[in-house]
Structure 1
């Protein structure tokens, strides 16, 4: 009888909450292109908070003023509390550490730009360690372009002169990654070639307007802004590349 009651209570709980992701789960949402209102809204929803504090990191563009203004414009009519973490600061004006600021947020979104320079700055300032602690704490992480590539073990980047090259990420997600999968002709074949040669591990690719939610390090679901944008799992099998399109939910 006791077991039966426990089963009933478990069933009722899941029906009433409508959730299969708990607040203690580690959530990371990546998308192929630049930050947009739809994906900001979705990231905020992942926090489960009524008016979440969402912090934007424009490190990859050198704390570009126009990019930060664009962020605040996107957030102006959303039910969130927007913040920006700048790295070009001085200790006279900023009295809180980067870790203190990031750990007080409900979600963190990383913008696009130069991935290599961004990761170097994060390492020098120990922001990479602060982000890892935030992730372990259950703070939602997200981002697109450089802001998606950084979370994986590696991928191709345009951060160096002359041609696309390989960059190592933070490895919060133990896969390779390719952003801008549909917008730059050289990205897709180069990604395939690097996986075939074993330079990159199997991984995930996202069109500019498509993204993937990872929960506890595993792909949970895909979301897209339109019917033309998709996300893919790309892997090597018997010496050939397999590209599996992930069914996406269209969000507005």
Structure 2
């Protein structure tokens, strides 16, 4: 079964005292001690980001590692990644992430991993990247649409309640057809896809939600059922 979990915000990097989403990800692997690999490309492989990942996941029932493109642990990325149970992509600059992945061939390897049943997950840029299109601030302080990998249909907008410009910008893009319709997620919300179909929406915060945003004679924002994990 193919699985992908896209976080609109939260997790170890945004709410380190709230482990609900990250533990949910670990549980979905079906392994008692899953091998989880962090890919921090979007942050420029920031040392402090990798340290925060290790600080959290070394305390969990798992085997953590990370893949740096600036200091590669191996030349054989495919073997390195395909032996993992979970691949977790961090936030940052989505455009730079996509450019570097394509240059290194990671986009192809990650699609192979996904098709072979490695659970893919990610937050912010690590959420946007899997969809056909996403809302990004990669180009500066203005939010813009971005063509992404297309593992999942539709568009994606994270931080829907966490950044003041996200909601109006995404709605305007959908209404003007500058981005295809899709799903927006508040901070603390994760979309869980199984075999390319959205099966579960879970949250680490009681009031956080996900929304289907589309245009049908008028802009429509439909709140989706979200299960609080607490």
Matched, 1:33 2:33: no
Deviations 1:129-177 (A, max 9, x none): 1100000001100111000000011122111124112211100001100
Question: Secondary structure in 1 aligned to 2:61?
Answer: coil
| Aligned residue among 122, 135, 143 for 2:122 | 143
Q: Which has the higher contact order (CA 8 A, sep 6+)?
A: 2
Matched, 1:249 2:222: no
Task: Kindly name which structure, 1 or 2, has the bigger radius of gyration based on alpha carbons.
Answer: 1
Q: Quote the Cα distance in structure 2 between the aligned partners of 1:54 and 1:35.
A: 14
Matched, 1:121 2:100: yes
* Mapping of residues 170-189 of structure 1, within 5 Å: 170-189=149-168
Q: Quote the Cα distance in structure 2 between the aligned partners of 1:43 and 1:131.
A: 17
Alignment RMSD (CA, Å): 1.3
* Kept after mapping to 2: 8 A contact 1:34/1:112: no
Instruction: Rate the CA distance shift 1:162–1:47 in 2: closer, same or farther, 3 A.
Output: closer
* Kept after mapping to 2: 8 A contact 1:110/1:142: yes
| Aligned residue among 38, 42, 50 for 1:60 | 42
Question: Secondary structure in 2 aligned to 1:234?
Answer: strand
Deviations 1:158-214 (A, max 9, x none): 111241122111000011000000011111111111111212111011111111111
The alpha carbon displacement at 1:46 in A equals 1.0
Question: Secondary structure in 1 aligned to 2:11?
Answer: coil
| Aligned residue among 235, 245, 248 for 2:214 | 235
Instruction: Rate the CA distance shift 1:161–1:226 in 2: closer, same or farther, 3 A.
Output: closer
Q: Quote the Cα distance in structure 2 between the aligned partners of 1:247 and 1:114.
A: 29
Q: Quote the Cα distance in structure 2 between the aligned partners of 1:129 and 1:216.
A: 18
Matched, 1:48 2:30: yes
Q: Which runs of 5+ in 1 are unaligned?
A: 1-24
In the alignment, which residue of structure 1 is the partner of 2:175?
A: 196
Q: Which runs of 5+ in 2 are unaligned?
A: 13-18
* Kept after mapping to 2: 8 A contact 1:179/1:208: yes
Corresponding pairs, count: 224
Q: Quote the Cα distance in structure 1 between the aligned partners of 2:124 and 2:163.
A: 12
TM-score by length of 1: 0.85
In the alignment, which residue of structure 2 is the partner of 1:7?
A: none
Structure 1 range deviating more: 32-41 or 113-122: 32-41
The alpha carbon displacement at 1:35 in A equals 3.4
Q: Quote the Cα distance in structure 2 between the aligned partners of 1:34 and 1:249.
A: 15
TM-score by length of 2: 0.93
